Chains A and B, each alone.
Chain A
Amino acid sequence: MRAPDLIRFASHAATGNPLRSSLLVLAVAIGVAAVVVLTALGDGARRYVLAEFSSLGSNLVIVLPGRSQTGGFNPANAITGTPRDLTINDAKALLRGASIRRVAPIAVGTSEISVPGKLREVMVAGTTSQYIEVRHLDISQGSFLPEEDWGRGAAVAVIGAKVRQEMFGQGSAVGRLIRVGDRRFRIVGVLASSGQGLGMNTDELVFVPVALAQAMFNSNTLFRILVEAKNREEIPLAKAQALEILKLRHEGEEDVTAITQDAVLATFDRLLSALTLGVAGIAAISLAVAGILVMNVMLVSVVQRTSEIGLLKALGATGSAIRLAFLVEAAMLSAAGAVMGFLLGQGGAALIRNFYPTFPAFPPDWAVAAGLITALATGILFGVLPARRAALLDPVQALAKR
């Protein structure tokens, strides 16, 4: 039998019983759609979390004073007893690290800020000009803190979006004077709204040069040092260099903790990838069920078409031609189901994205490929038995059957 004839014959046979065929296509389609939608949800969750975390800034190493036994991210370390403080000079020294691109020291405290007629209690963060690049933040008005000697610092401030809203309403903030504690600062910039990050909301912060913040709070310690590695591959190097430099500066004692964002991200990545794989597996079970359905429907079809099979044999069809015809039919039905399921699944994922625009519900390519291949493979695999049965039918008995 020629290939086009085989396909035409099989598709005729499939459309000859529309109810049976459409049920079968639907079963496979639901299986494939389940794989596509569920993995879109799983992978969407993974992407969502990763995106949230990388908004902290990429290639980041965070140095905290105090040695943490677990190496975990624990803000309490920063507040409670610190054996040896981190200083601005420590931060400056980190710039010597070959894999370190930028460094931003942070000193924090609370203070009152005021403009005529308004008074607020706010968190004040002392830092340097590179903080904005390290954290990948955006300026909505003016500019960030200027490049200058870390030990001195001009009396300028940058405020978060929420602070601006509360202190100035709709009015312009850049250029205005503001009183922080007992000092006066000129506002040079306003940050774009960004949301949560590093346990403090930048929208509610007032940024001033680190030296001025330390003077204001009468301390020379740092809350943290943010270190940016040259690139992703050099994050571990940057971390090691930071620890090494600080150890030397602290008389050979390793009394700081460096955590990488990568470590946190990798954990989440692993966790959520496993979750996606898990739901893909569960969805694949529905495909296997569809495969069993394919087998049963094809077996019934062999019984229904017994006399036709007998006739084909009488007309000179070989057993292998009959086997192939049934296999092609099963493959075509599952292929149709796979395509329909793919479209249904992509449609479902698009619908989810439509309702939750911030949620990146895209099915991963591997899952789509695996879903399609599994559908085809189960269809053909479970088509083998019915096809064999058809090929082995005794022509005389098959013809006698009415």
Chain B
Amino acid sequence: MAEPQIRLAGIERVFHLGDSEVHALHSLSLTIMPGEYVAVMGPSGSGKSTLLNLLGLLDRPNAGSYVLEGRDVTTLNPEEQAEVRSRRIGFVFQSFHLVPRLTAYDNIALPMMLAGVSPKERDVRVNKALKDYGLEDRAGHRPEELSGGQRQRVAIARATIMEPAMILADEPTGNLDRATGDEVVHLLEELNGRGVTLIVVTHDPGIGSRSRRQLLMEDGELRRDSAI
């Protein structure tokens, strides 16, 4: 059997709000293989985003271990974690999170710029991405000049430009209408078809049913895992 891409064991994430404690994640264990397509579902406040942030190394658990591609990443220092985010992980957000003053081209190039990729190499890859996502004639436009679907396509192009091993998407269709939402889901599924691990947080049962594996969260616990 192949090595799992993600192995979470006994994860705890506790937030302190004044005197009260919120167990956003509680004794969570989970294994995800490379190339899987996983939908994370559950009611609001059940800990879906917290789980995704943890998987994306934006947050640290209070307890438990996270082994990513055979390496315990909870013990890495912030700079090393940034390096892992840069090379292995792509984020797609509900609210797109594009930099408003940068053009579509520059937004897509941003991860490569941060990683110190040469401008020549960047140009080749951005132009290919613009073509792949049908954004060629939008290269010089700033986010405010783009439609919601175009913005999310720019965001997906940005998430994939460093060729990460996995894409983490937190309600990627939450701000889009049905048709554009479907379009974005198709794009993500296409990436998954090329071997990228895809983990999508969604409230949409339609998307949930299309995924090959569904996780149901409730009160910070993993209630149901369709793979088990």
Contact = CB atoms under 8 A, between A and B. Distances in A.
A316 B111 contact: yes
B47 to A, nearest CB: 13
The interface size bin for chain B is 20 to 34
A1 B115 CA distance: 6
Interface stretch (A35-43, A45-53, A223-231, A305-313): A305-313
Interface in A299-324: 307-308, 310-321
A402 B96 CA distance: 11
A306 to B, nearest CB: 12
B100 to A, nearest CB: 8
A96 interface: no
Contact of A315 (B78, B95, B101, B114): B114
B110 interface: yes
Interface stretch (B26-34, B52-60, B200-208): B52-60
Contacts of B58: 313-314, 395-396, 399
A316 B99 contact: no
Interface stretch (A8-16, A145-153, A158-166): A8-16
Nearest to A308: B99
A2 interface: yes
Given A314-B85, A318-B78, A319-B82, A399 B97 contact: yes
Given A308-B99, A319-B79, A402-B95, A314 B110 contact: no
Nearest to B117: A2
B93 A317 contact: no
Given A314-B56, A316-B115, A399 B82 contact: no
A320 B83 CA distance: 12
A59 to B, nearest CB: 65
B91 A2 contact: no
B78 A317 contact: no
Interface string B93-136: 10101011110000000110111101100000000000000000
Contacts of A319: 78-79, 82
Contacts of B78: 318-319
Contact of A396 (B59, B102, B110, B114): B59
Given A314-B56, A315-B158, A319-B79, A1 B97 contact: no
Given A5-B113, A318-B79, A321-B114, A16 B85 contact: no
Interface string B51-81: 0010010110000000000000000001100
B162 to A, nearest CB: 7
Q: Which of B91, B100, B113 has the most CB of A within 10 A?
A: B113
A315 B86 contact: yes
B79 A315 contact: no
Contacts of A2: 113, 116, 118
B99 A1 contact: no
Contacts of B86: 315-317
Contact of B101 (A4, A16, A396): A16
Contacts, number: 68
Interface string B142-159: 000000000000000010
Given A12-B101, A16-B101, A399-B97, A312 B114 contact: yes
A316 B101 contact: no
B87 A316 contact: yes
Interface string A367-402: 000000000000000000000000000011001001
Nearest to A307: B97
A76 B162 CA distance: 91
Contact of B113 (A1, A16, A396, A402): A1
Contacts of A311: 97, 99
Contacts of A310: 97
A312 B82 CA distance: 10
Contacts of A1: 113-114, 116
Contacts of A395: 58-59
A321 B95 CA distance: 24
A317 B82 contact: yes
B146 to A, nearest CB: 17
A314 B91 contact: yes
A16 B86 CA distance: 25
Nearest to A15: B101
B102 A315 contact: no
Contacts of A396: 53, 58-59
> What 5 A-B pairs are tightest by C-beta distance, nearest first?
A316-B86, A16-B101, A318-B82, A316-B85, A395-B58
Interface of B: 53, 56, 58-59, 78-79, 82-83, 85-87, 91, 93, 95, 97, 99-102, 110-111, 113-116, 118-119, 158, 162
24 contacts: A1-B114, A2-B116, A2-B118, A5-B113, A5-B116, A12-B102, A16-B101, A311-B97, A312-B110, A312-B114, A314-B85, A314-B97, A315-B85, A315-B111, A315-B158, A316-B82, A316-B83, A317-B114, A318-B78, A319-B79, A321-B114, A395-B58, A396-B53, A399-B97
Given A316-B162, A317-B86, 11 more contacts: A1-B113, A1-B116, A4-B119, A5-B113, A311-B97, A313-B82, A313-B85, A316-B115, A317-B114, A319-B82, A395-B59
